[in-house]
Amino acid sequence: MKTFQTDIAVHKALLAQADQFCTELLAHPVLSHYRDEITIILKGSTAHGYSDQYSDVDLVVFCHEGRKQEITDEYVRQGLSQRTDGVFLPLHDWAGHYNTDSYKSLQKFAIRAARNTYGNTVAVRSCTIRKEFCSNREGGA
């Protein structure tokens, strides 16, 4: 089994940076129009707690599939991205990055993760992504 060494100071700094990036994304000229419809999730080594000096902040902006395309189209229209299949952009000169994805994709990931953890005997009837996952920074956590 592979073990990971976490640099606690680096990890804390990355978590603070992730919080700052989330605040910035919620105020983004495009994303701010969807702030009540998006969920920003931290992923990668920082989220898993095994960050080191090579780690960065990986964020995913989740929304409904139709909104994802609207957001992507608006990024292209405003000249912020050339991609038409979604958004994948750096944060602060690649101190991190973010991309867009759909809640449906998140549901599939959650089901796959549950099966990997609990085996294929897991019965998943439905998986509803709830809005409580979204932390709206305006009113606190």
pLDDT digits (tens, 9 = 90+) for 83-99: 999 999 999 999 999 99
- CA–CA gap between residue 93 and residue 131 (Å, rounded): 30
Quote the DSSP letter at residue 95. Answer: T
When pLDDT is cut at 50, 70 and 90, the band that residue 117 belongs to is low
pLDDT digits (tens, 9 = 90+) for 13-31: 999 999 999 999 999 999 9
Share of the chain above pLDDT 90, in %: 57
Smallest CA-to-CA distance from 45 within 20, 19, 10 is with: 10
86 in Cβ contact with 8 (< 8 Å):
no
Task: Tell me if the pTM is above 0.75.
Answer: yes
Residue 135 has pLDDT above 50, yes or no: no
